[in-house]
Amino acid sequence: MLRSLFASKSIALTVKDYAIRCLTYTPSGGVSSTYEHLLPNGIVENGQILDKPALLSHLVKCVGKVKGRRKRASFFVPDAIVIVRSITIPLDIQPDEFRGYILLELGVTIHLPFEDPVFDYHLVASDGDKQHVLLFAAPRDVVQDYSDLCKDAGLKPVVADISALSLQRFSSVQDRSSFEGHTLLLQANLVANTVSFFQDAHLVFMRHMKSTLQPIDWEAIQVEREILYRCKRDEGALQMDWRQLTEELSRVLNYYRYTLHKGEVEVDRILVSGDHPDLPDIISAIQARFDQMTVLPINSQSREELSGKHHIIPVRFHELMGVPLRGGQPHVD
């Protein structure tokens, strides 16, 4: 989690290139409602806001629908701009001095593809004379744009979070063993995929990959509080997209195993989530390619456990379900 803002709870939201999704929850972590709002093409692209007035107008509508005005909000930093780095810090640097040390080393021994980052860090282990720390960073101006957007829409932004970390929190509540050892988490979305590697529940590596499909390849229909998606391309285009995804997964798996870990580790499982409407077919394609590995939809069992009398949490909202977990296990009010 990026701690550039103070922590609180009330609304969790994510802005995709094609939709805004909101989840409202109580101080106890109870999920009150979900809402999804269609975004026209050209407003957000690859996480970057291209048309701020238009995006604000749509977010104001969402805030009105969920009665969120003046409530506290947590938002996701777009996956495409998040950087995860493993760094080492001398043993004589105390944890309360980490932030100052990192600031001094930025651009010297710690190199990021952007200037003026907002960042967070997590101490993983110490050995010898070094402390092993995970650094999470994003461009400050983009994070500030989303924070300002929330303020202008009448929300009180308090937390900037990372979707993969939120999904991991949610999954681990459903199954404590789901992120033991080395786990690959795939977030398969309409126009992009995010691959995250976890080692014993610690996020250690991320890669954002564009799909062969674009927003114009999808037909989206707003139906009350949710959106239905249908691909306008033929089955061959979808299968080509799945093949590219499995090839990218193969390359990134090899990089993780052999470049980062010198062939000394094996990935225990692939967990899959996301908003792609053909998620079951994607999982089948991945399982066929990696038949020696366990490939599972993340928290498929959560559908029943998180169902109220009149409310079921769709899979595409699962990444938001990890936000209220800072206060305990989520449930549906």
Q: Which of 299, 324, 325, 303 is nearest to 314 (CA)?
A: 303
Q: What whole-number distance in Å separates Cα of residue 59 and Cα of residue 39?
A: 10
Gyration radius from the chain CA atoms: 20
User: Has residue 328 got a pLDDT over 80?
Assistant: no
Lowest mean pLDDT, pick from 66-70, 86-90, 243-247, 300-304 = 300-304
Report yes or no: 42 and 51 within 8 Å, Cβ to Cβ.
yes
Write the DSSP string, 211-232. Answer: -S--GGGEEEEEETTEEEEEE-
Q: Tell me how crowded residue 259 is: count the other CB atoms within 10 A of its CB.
A: 9
- The average pLDDT across 264-273 equals 93
Categorize the per-residue pLDDT at 226 as very low, low, confident or very high, splitting at 50, 70 and 90: confident
User: Has residue 330 got a pLDDT over 80?
Assistant: no
User: Has residue 333 got a pLDDT over 70?
Assistant: no
Which pLDDT score, from 0 to 100, does residue 290 have?
93
What is the pairing mode between strands 19-25 and 30-38? Answer: antiparallel
Categorize the per-residue pLDDT at 58 as very low, low, confident or very high, splitting at 50, 70 and 90: very high
| Structural element, H or E, at residue 98 | helix 98-105
Instruction: Measure the CA dihedral 36/65/71/22, to 10°.
Output: -10
Which pLDDT score, from 0 to 100, does residue 307 have?
40
User: Has residue 302 got a pLDDT over 80?
Assistant: no
The rounded percent of the chain whose pLDDT value lies above 70 is 91
Sort 72 into a burial class: Cβ within 10 Å, 0-12 / 13-18 / 19+: middle
Which pLDDT score, from 0 to 100, does residue 327 have?
57
Q: What is the mean pLDDT of the chain?
A: 88
Per-residue b or e along 123-151, where b marks 16 or more CB atoms closer than 10 Å to that residue's CB: eeeeeeeebebbbbbbbbebbeebbebbe
Q: If DSSP codes are grouped into helix, strand and coil, which group holds residue 111?
A: coil
For residue 261, what are its two tokens?
Answer: 């870990």
User: Has residue 130 got a pLDDT over 90?
Assistant: yes
Residues 6+ apart with CB under 8 A from 119: 2, 102, 135, 136, 137, 138
Which pLDDT score, from 0 to 100, does residue 32 have?
84
